[in-house]
Amino acid sequence: MATESVNTFKSRYAYRFLLDEDRDKYAILNIRKLESSVRDIRSGEILGEVRTFSYHGGWIATRMYGFSLLRCPVPDPDPKVNSAHINLLHDVLKPIQP
């Protein structure tokens, strides 16, 4: 795969996804925070932001429930429905209509 170095941004908008930014804060509870944001690079303004949490339980949750992953908000079981993080991109970055 070819790569190219650039000195300036080619897009006006930036998408950022962070996993476990506050891991030390939630580590003992086995909770992970996931954050996504869309920012206007020129102005620095945050155009949209979403946070979700997942609980990875442990051996007790696995024994009691048969699984150890719970999410908030609960994702839609329909595979055609996007996650909150994907919806952020679709809701904030609208294509220009010709």
In this predicted model, what pLDDT tens digit does every residue of 13-53 receive, in sequence order?
888 888 765 555 655 667 778 889 999 988 999 999 998 88
- Give pLDDT, residue 43: 93
- pLDDT for 40 equals 92
Rounded to the nearest 10°, the torsion over CA 50, 45, 13, 21 is -40
| pLDDT tens readout for residues 51-81 | 888 777 666 666 666 666 667 767 776 767 7
CB 89 within 8 A of CB 38: yes
> Given this model, what pLDDT does residue 37 score?
93
